[in-house]
Amino acid sequence: METAREESARGSDDDAAQEDTTSVADVSVEVATVDATLNKLCRRYNGRRRRAKKIKKKNPILDLQNLAILITVVVFVIVVIMWSLLWVFIFRRESNSGVYFAGMFRVANVEFIPEYRHADSSEFVSMANRIQHVITSVYRTSSVSRLYKQTVISDLSNNNQGGVLVHFWMIFVVPHLKTPSVCEDCVSAILKDSVHMSLQNRSSVGFLQGLPVDIDSILVNVALRSDYSSTAVGSQCVDKLYAGVPDVSIPLNVFSSWGGLSCYIKLTSAPGSVIRLTVKSFRIDPSDCVYDALTVYDSLLPMRGMILYRVCESVSAPISLVSTSNVMLLSFRLTQGNKIFRGHFQALMEEQCMNTIALPAGPGDAGVITSPFFPSLLPRQCSCTWMFQMPSGALGVALRFQNYMLKLKDLQNCEHGWWKINEIIYCGNYIDYSTVFRIPAQNPEVVFRCSSRSADQSFNATYSSYNTSQPCPEGHFLCSTGLCVEKFRRCDGLDDCQDESDEMFCSKPPKICGGLSPLHPLYICNGETDCSSGKDEINCTQETSCSGVSYQCGNGACILKKNAKCDGLHDCYDRSDEKDCACGNPTASKRVSDSAATQQRIVGGINAMEGEWPWQVSMHFSGQMYCGASVLSDEWLLSAAHCFSKERLADPRMWMAHLGMLNQGSAKHVAEIRRFVVHEYYNARNFDYDIALVQLKKAWPSSLEKYIQPICLPAPSQTFTEGHRCWVTGWGYRSEQDKILPTVLQKAEVSIISQSECKRSYGAVSPRMLCAGVPSGEQDACRGDSGGPLSCQAHSGGRWFLTGVVSWGSGCGRPNFPGVYTRVAKFVDWIQRHIQNL
Ligand code: 4AZ
């Protein structure tokens, strides 16, 4: 009690100091009766009552206070009015205004003089003024005259077409409602129409208010205001470099301390030459070009239609690229940190890509043809012709490509090279294996044209002659890829041809267990007892030569056991097969088979249970569920390339990954995306290489591992057959006609279907695809499930492996049209190359 009293008294002293109106009598009463906290409240209340009485008496103070309040209110009202006026007249007008265009055209019949290279020379100023005046009068007399503000000439250059190439900015001031009237095509059409009216005699040069302009050279692109301000004349961060002498390398090094966020380097060289830029190393934070990026343009202004190449991740092995003419613009966007670019550039004389090649009759490689400026990336425009001459009519030319394939052109354009071979048109495509293109003609002419919108990979092909009546040596089989493989490799269960053409029309290999001939390699150590004696599953950990049907241990040794990875047994001598196996083992209390749920959902699926598929991810684009994905680690997900490959879908800032989720909207963790790694050979026409890695901005917290867990990646040799339990999961549509997506995660059991059966359904199924479904079609993936997992359990009670990624199919749930999945085992090396420390 004593202590309480002391404490209360101390409290009273403090309060007395703060509140000068508290009387000693008040304090003494409170100390005797109530506790310290209550005391304070009472005293404050009493104090306020007394102050209020005093205030009532003192009128002059009251007046002063009122005055202060009045002044405050008046000042506040003035500030509000001024702010509103500022917003209406400055900010609002600003946000309504600037629409920026970057453009270029060639002024013919004007001689280029070196002074034009310097924007501060009187010659440049006088020429720029003339062109500026012409463009201004064109737009001042056009339908958008009231919106046109000004033209700024930024550069004058010359190429080998003669005349002067003009690079310019155009600025329009546009109220919001009128934005469509200054669209890119409309602004460009005004310029082209003006020239077009004066075209004569099939010449491409017409007159723009007396200025001779080449109509084919006119290009106008919408641009960013920030690009305008940072490349405009006088900007602190624009450097101009000139390569006057061909083949002399000029160093180019850029550091992040070099000048800020956006810096430009304009490269020019002598007319008739092109510029080769070599990136020796580049250290940046990978972010899909959102934060750090180097964009290389085939022009002197940052024009969208002239992008040659973009570097969005660090470069350690040198890459080089070549411009189409004698100008190139490097646009660096570097955020803070230690960012370093090292490289060089040089002028090169344009290559005359035209050759006549006489082949000898004998076997073996006779020489190599390469893409222009090999090994540099392809220019945006190029043309090569090779004329082969064979010593005899019985011989043809065989072109062996490293990672490139020619296919007969269909109705669509060629995206990666246009080929005309003896008057037949083919399109080129990049793949990850070699092919042989055979031309059964004595003197074939091969024409190649670049057809990609930006710089493509280079290619080379070795050429040799071959006997048209017998393309392959004795005892060999001719694959559809043009390769020759030994006949005994046909139907051996291995894809020797690279397109499985050696495994087509094969009956299932017989299980001859007791005979003299060895058992088919597919049956040996595959985890299933195929011979009653069990001899196919003994000595499986013995070392063997490495092949597609053996498991490779960490130390490089190979063992017969195909499915050694993470099966709970130490099979490799170095025990590497059981390393990194914290995956594919859900902690859900009820397992799939125990599921009591019967409600029929997604093409024959049922509701999944909490924690049953902890690797399942829902990928949301612009707030909407768009695709699925699977957790590979705390930072990486695996999904389908087609989810992110279109320009609109490629921006990681538009996506969110929802992890540890059963019902839409109740994710345990929602993650931002750092970047996508879309497979470099993804083919949007046939969905080949439909795989993409997704890197999260931040690792998900380990405290959530009860709900979020990686799925195991299979070994490249791992086999999954009809015997395995496989489930497809996702929040995709429940039928082709469905309009509403389910809320609860759906799961459907499907069976792996053999490749030959799948080809009977679809025809074009690449070795990188895998089919799964049920004969009736009743269980299947559908739209919205794409990118999500096809999870297969190694054995009853074993771990779950990511066998497929939902990719495509003919409709959903149709009989005899199973779902098609990306075959993950084919991409294990690719995944590991991109994910360090997985
Ligand atoms: C799709 O459009 C899609 N039935 C995914 C899977 C299947 C069909 C379509 C397979 O994302």
Residues 722 and 753 in one domain: yes
| pLDDT for position 75 | 82
Assigned domain for 493 exists: no
Residues 376 and 343 in one domain: no
Residues 205 and 293 in one domain: no
In tens, the pLDDT along 354-400 reads 999 999 877 788 899 999 999 999 999 999 999 999 999 999 999 99
Residue 334 has pLDDT above 80, yes or no: yes
| pLDDT for position 828 | 97
Q: How far is the CA of 505 from the centre of ligand 1 (A)?
A: 27
User: Residue of the nearest CA to atom 4 in ligand 1?
Assistant: 812
| pLDDT for position 484 | 97
Output DSSP code: residue 837: T
pLDDT confidence tier of residue 511, bands split at 50, 70 and 90:
confident
Residue 402 has pLDDT above 60, yes or no: yes
Range of lowest pLDDT (196-200, 271-275, 575-579, 706-710): 196-200
Residue of 545, 677, 667, 566 whose CA lies nearest to 616: 667
Residues 716 and 822 in one domain: yes
Residues 693 and 809 in one domain: yes
| pLDDT for position 264 | 92
Residues in Cβ contact with 426 at an 8 Å cutoff, skipping those fewer than 6 apart: 406, 407, 408, 409, 414, 418, 419, 420
Q: How far is the CA of 796 from the centre of ligand 1 (A)?
A: 28
Output DSSP code: residue 117: G
CB of 690 closer than 6 angstroms to any ligand 1 atom: no
To test ligand 1's pocket by mutation, which of 758, 769, 780, 806 has the most ligand atoms within 8 angstroms of CB? 806
Residues 672 and 767 in one domain: yes
Range of lowest pLDDT (37-41, 614-618, 648-652, 705-709): 37-41
Q: What mean pLDDT do residues 438-450 have?
A: 96
Residue 26 has pLDDT above 50, yes or no: no
Spot the catalytic one: 690, 717, 761, 766.
Answer: 690
CB of 602 closer than 6 angstroms to any ligand 1 atom: no
Assigned domain for 86 exists: no
Q: Are residues 631 and 617 in contact, defined by beta-carbon separation less than 8 angstroms? A: yes
Residue 24 has pLDDT above 70, yes or no: no
To test ligand 1's pocket by mutation, which of 621, 805, 807 has the most ligand atoms within 8 angstroms of CB? 807
Residues in Cβ contact with 688 at an 8 Å cutoff, skipping those fewer than 6 apart: 431, 681, 682, 766, 768, 769
| Highest mean pLDDT, choosing among 77-86, 258-267, 280-289 | 280-289
What residues does 616 pair with on adjacent strands? 630
CB of 806 closer than 6 angstroms to any ligand 1 atom: yes
Ligand 1 atom closest to Cα of residue 817 = 4
Write down which residue in 304, 327, 349 finishes a domain: 349
Q: How far is the CA of 230 from the centre of ligand 1 (A)?
A: 45
Assigned domain for 403 exists: yes
Q: What is the DSSP string of 534-603?
A: -GGGSSTTSEE---TTSEEPTTS-EES-TT-TTSSS--STT-GGGSS---S----SS-GGG------BTT
pLDDT confidence tier of residue 89, bands split at 50, 70 and 90:
low
Assigned domain for 57 exists: no
Write down which residue in 411, 446, 471 finishes a domain: 471
Residues 642 and 786 in one domain: yes
User: Residue of the nearest CA to atom 1 in ligand 1?
Assistant: 783
Residue 54 has pLDDT above 70, yes or no: no
To test ligand 1's pocket by mutation, which of 750, 761, 783 has the most ligand atoms within 8 angstroms of CB? 783
Write down which residue in 349, 371, 397 finishes a domain: 349
CB of 573 closer than 6 angstroms to any ligand 1 atom: no
Assigned domain for 804 exists: yes
Residues 368 and 420 in one domain: yes
Residues 311 and 384 in one domain: no
Q: What mean pLDDT do residues 207-215 have?
A: 91
Q: How far is the CA of 676 from the centre of ligand 1 (A)?
A: 21
Assigned domain for 539 exists: no
CB of 627 closer than 6 angstroms to any ligand 1 atom: no
Q: What mean pLDDT do residues 603-616 have?
A: 96
To test ligand 1's pocket by mutation, which of 782, 807, 814, 816 has the most ligand atoms within 8 angstroms of CB? 782
**What type of residue sits at position 325?**
S
Residue 309 has pLDDT above 60, yes or no: yes
Residue 44 has pLDDT above 80, yes or no: no
CATH number for the domain including 173?
3.30.70.960
Q: Are residues 108 and 163 in contact, defined by beta-carbon separation less than 8 angstroms? A: yes
| pLDDT for position 529 | 86
Ligand 1 atom closest to Cα of residue 603 = 4
CB of 786 closer than 6 angstroms to any ligand 1 atom: yes
Helix (H) or strand (E) holding 16: helix 2-18
Ligand 1 atom closest to Cα of residue 786 = 11
For the chain, the residue count is: 838
CB of 787 closer than 6 angstroms to any ligand 1 atom: no
Residues 308 and 378 in one domain: no
* 360: containing domain: 354-471
CB of 762 closer than 6 angstroms to any ligand 1 atom: no
In tens, the pLDDT along 546-588 reads 988 899 999 999 999 999 999 999 999 999 999 999 999 998 6
Instruction: Assess whether 154 carries a catalytic annotation.
Output: no
Residues 155 and 142 in one domain: yes
pLDDT confidence tier of residue 831, bands split at 50, 70 and 90:
very high
Residues in Cβ contact with 834 at an 8 Å cutoff, skipping those fewer than 6 apart: 677, 693
Spot the catalytic one: 167, 416, 620, 642.
Answer: 642
Q: How far is the CA of 701 from the centre of ligand 1 (A)?
A: 32
Rounded to two decimals, the pTM is 0.82
How many CB atoms are closer than 10 A to CB 288?
22
Assigned domain for 316 exists: yes
Burial 293-304 (b: 16+ CB within 10 A, else e): bbbbbbbbbbbe
CB of 780 closer than 6 angstroms to any ligand 1 atom: yes
Comparing 41 with 326, the larger pLDDT belongs to 326
| pLDDT for position 520 | 80
| pLDDT for position 18 | 36
Instruction: Assess whether 570 carries a catalytic annotation.
Output: no
In tens, the pLDDT along 613-632 reads 999 999 999 999 999 999 99
Residue 5 has pLDDT above 80, yes or no: no
CB of 788 closer than 6 angstroms to any ligand 1 atom: no
Q: What mean pLDDT do residues 591-616 have?
A: 73
Q: Are residues 240 and 231 in contact, defined by beta-carbon separation less than 8 angstroms? A: no
Q: Are residues 303 and 323 in contact, defined by beta-carbon separation less than 8 angstroms? A: no
Q: Are residues 388 and 446 in contact, defined by beta-carbon separation less than 8 angstroms? A: yes
What is the average pLDDT score of the chain? 86
Residue of 115, 113, 179 whose CA lies nearest to 144: 179
> Rounded to the nearest 10 degrees, what angle do helices 2-18 and 36-57 cross at?
30
| pLDDT for position 60 | 57
Ligand 1 atom closest to Cα of residue 627 = 11
Residue 74 has pLDDT above 60, yes or no: yes
How many CB atoms are closer than 10 A to CB 107?
23
Q: Are residues 658 and 617 in contact, defined by beta-carbon separation less than 8 angstroms? A: yes
Residues 776 and 712 in one domain: yes
Specify the pairing of strand 435-439 against strand 367-370: unpaired
Ligand 1 atom closest to Cα of residue 813 = 4
Q: How far is the CA of 656 from the centre of ligand 1 (A)?
A: 21
Q: How far is the CA of 559 from the centre of ligand 1 (A)?
A: 37
pLDDT confidence tier of residue 482, bands split at 50, 70 and 90:
very high
In tens, the pLDDT along 727-762 reads 999 999 999 999 999 999 999 999 999 998 999 999
Q: Measured between alpha carbons, how far is 481 from 479 in angstroms, rounded to an integer?
A: 5
Assigned domain for 466 exists: yes
Ligand 1 atom closest to Cα of residue 784 = 11
Residue 596 has pLDDT above 50, yes or no: no
Comparing 591 with 795, the larger pLDDT belongs to 795
CB of 632 closer than 6 angstroms to any ligand 1 atom: no
Spot the catalytic one: 157, 269, 786, 791.
Answer: 786
Number of domains in the chain: 4
User: Residue of the nearest CA to atom 11 in ligand 1?
Assistant: 783
Residue 186 has pLDDT above 80, yes or no: yes
HEC-encoded secondary structure of 775-823: CCCCCCCCCCCCCCEEEEECCCCCCEEEEEEEEECCCCCCCCCCEEEEE
Q: How far is the CA of 48 from the centre of ligand 1 (A)?
A: 73
Comparing 596 with 42, the larger pLDDT belongs to 596
Instruction: Assess whether 574 carries a catalytic annotation.
Output: no
CATH number for the domain including 284?
2.60.120.290
**What type of residue sits at position 569?**
L
Residue 100 has pLDDT above 70, yes or no: yes
